[in-house]
Structure 1
Amino acid sequence: MAFKDIAEAKQSCKLYVMAKKVELVVVKSDKTILRYKCGAECCPFLLLISENLTTPGVSVKTRVDHIECGTTYDNSLVDYSTIALYFKEKLQSDPK
């Protein structure tokens, strides 16, 4: 998966957190790299997004999937703009 920049990748990760109801913790975040891990200690989830060397933008370099680590509704990554964007897309696709 590729993104325009780190900001777009962060927004996609926030939407992922809301859709999957999981907790992600930022391990490292700067202008060139973004790394997340799962908030549950027993979960091996890992996501590494960094710059492409051949093309402009950033892409997912490493991804280890979630195991059954449970549902969480409390996540510090999600802010009001992410919630608004999440529901805006859902309401536009199905207004009823």
Structure 2
Amino acid sequence: MNCPRCKSSDSTKNGIVGGRQRYRCSGCGYNYTVEKKSKAETYTVEGYNSIFRHFLARLRRKSKCYTKSIEMLKYSIILLMKYRNNELSIFN
């Protein structure tokens, strides 16, 4: 996270204020806190991560014949993401 005043990325933790982590910029000495994400945002992101991990785990199965080519795995992940985002017209 960058300092809001001087945009430096060199900062250290400097306590907790109002339940949020406080930081001190090593460049200019400015103290600042970072806005917390809401629980709703966290649940949504974790839900998507869970779905993605589920489909990636299916690629690891030893009982199925999946390609080991990096290029084909990249295409498989791209197809999965396009399918999940309803960007594939062949499935509609």
TM-score by length of 1: 0.24
Q: Which has the larger Rg? A: 2
Bigger relative CO (Cα 8 Å, ≥ 6 apart): 1
More strand by share: 1
TM-score by length of 2: 0.25
More helix by share: 2
